[in-house]
Amino acid sequence: MQKVFENCYALDKRCYETYGLSEDILMEHAAAGMADYIRTHFPKGTSVLIVAGTGNNGADGIALGRQLHGDYEIKLYLPFALHSDMAKVQFERATLLGVKTVDQISQTDVVVDALFGAGLNRNIDEDTEHLLHQLNALKAHKIACDIPTGVGEKGILMPMAFHADVTLTMGAYKEALFLDACKDVVGEVLRIDLGVSSLFYEGESQTCLLEKSDLKLPSRKEQSTHKGSFGHAAVFCGEKEGAGIISGMAASTFGAGLTTLVVHEKITPPPYLMHSTVVPDNASAMAIGMGLGCHFESEFLQKYVVKSHLPIVLDADSFYNEEILSVLDQKDREVVITPHPKEFVVLWKILTGEQLTVTQVQNKRFEMVRKFNAKYPHITILLKGANTLIMQEERLYINPLGCSKLSKGGSGDVLSGLIVALLAQGHTAIDAAIQASLALVIAAHQYEGSSYAMLSTDLVEEIGKLECTVKG
């Protein structure tokens, strides 16, 4: 688990004022980190085109060229006049060493975008757009210095942006790198140390980046147990019964000792799933909303959902039902809500009266999750997306491991089943949401079929293999 920050200005300032590390020293370490990446992945003699901008991001790129010069074929391209003092200093040093500049973009093995970095807070001009178009067209390994050009400081993706294979971000991870719109632009995100351990550089943050190593499966180590030792998940199965059945399958596969589908009428589920017209007395957690429709009457929902004390997952159709949403006001209950952006729009309108669009939610994912948390700090919200956001009590977790295999009906039903399974086994709401989200995306990555072919049943099957395939 890594810390994430909105920006690193305050962190850099502490290095200057507390640790006596100058801007120059930090810059040399930034360049050295990028140089180490290139030296690790490409042999000597590889051609490296560095496109450097006018400010300190450009200065990082120029310093990189100097550090690689002699071992690599360096092509330093400066499309604009240098403005920052450090850029001018770094260019003077590079020139004294013999680094040559080029006056046009040409084919290369590696291209480094060092144009603007994290401070970009305006739209880029036509000349820069044309330049980015040329860089994106190159058949080269593409590296972004700190943040790809075209990604704004708040993570807003501009009409034209550099499409990186890897982003080497400086000092600490930044929120802008983890908005959904930027996922196909940033590529793999790696952090570069700036001459001081992250322990001292970063300071405190309420936002964390989840990693594969954070997954903790509900593995069974004790042997003197029985089915009652692992909880009883009750999954509401509504008009679109397939959604509830899939969720129940996921719950059972992820360790729930018993799983019962709460049904309105007779269905034919897999034989390992029970079904009942009421919530079983010994249920330890419930999930509702997946394909729910209007199957259950108000009196039934009041008795078995609203007035219940059981930990609960709210998904899908729950967000269209004000009666079910009254659960959000219950502060003595473990509650997880799992909206996708369209469902969040509906939820937010019911709760606040404010009408948002899906685009607005997507462009302000961090802001909207924090706004919800300010109103309902006790609720665990999991906002689905390419980068899933999970928040409770001012702590925000980013799961960046999502993939397009999950972009298919039924994936969310599986997620709800995983969460309710963990709730049934005694996990807290925030822990259940974190671990279920990690299990879901890791299982998806392990699916070996075509990227477009994975079904929810395939996903459940991969969930069942995680203990055997996930290392460490």
pLDDT classification of 365: cutoffs 50, 70, 90: very high
- For residue 250 the two structure tokens come to 């996921």
Is it the case that residue 472 has pLDDT exceeding 50?
Answer: no
Give the model's pLDDT for residue 406.
94
Domain with CATH 3.40.1190.20 in the chain: 213-469
The mean of the pLDDT values for the chain is 93
- How far apart CA 362 and CA 261 sit, in angstroms, is 33
Give, in order, the Cα–Cα distances in Å from 142 to each of 110, 132, 442: 6, 12, 26
Q: Please give the pLDDT value at position 446.
A: 94
SS3 of residue 439 by DSSP: helix
Label residue 471 by pLDDT band (50, 70, 90).
Answer: low
Would you give the DSSP letter of residue 99? Answer: P
Kindly report, residue by residue over 9-65, the tens digit of the pLDDT.
899 999 999 999 999 999 999 999 999 999 999 999 999 999 999 999 999 999 999
Q: By three-state DSSP, how is residue 238 classified?
A: coil
Q: Any alpha helices (H) in 227-357, and if so which ranges? A: 241-253, 298-301, 322-325, 341-352
Tokens 């952006």 found at? 341
Look at residue 153 and tell me whether its pLDDT is greater than 80: no
**pLDDT at residue 121 greater than cutoff 80:** no
Q: Which of 157, 158, 164, 151 is nearest to 34 (CA)?
A: 164
Give the whole-angstrom CA distance, residue 85 versus residue 415: 51
Nearest to 146 by CA among 114, 122, 100, 107: 114
Q: What is the pTM of this model?
A: 0.93
What span, in angstroms and rounded, lies between the C-alpha atoms of 230 and 169?
A: 43
Count Cβ neighbours within 10 Å for each residue of 240-252 and write b for 16 or more, e otherwise: bbebbbbbbbbbb
> 208: which strand partners?
3, 397
CATH for 2-205 (3.40.50.880, 3.40.50.10260, 3.40.50.300, 3.40.50.1370): 3.40.50.10260
Distance CA 121, CA 74 (A): 30
Query: In the CATH hierarchy, which fold is given to the domain comprising 213-469?
Result: UDP-N-acetylmuramoyl-L-alanine:D-glutamate ligase (3.40.1190)
Confidence of residue 229 (pLDDT cuts 50, 70, 90): confident
Helix (H, G, I), strand (E, B) or coil at 466: helix
Q: Give ranges for CATH 3.40.50.10260 in the chain.
A: 2-205
**Pairwise CA distance, residues 455 & 446, whole Å:** 13
- Strand, helix or coil at 203? coil
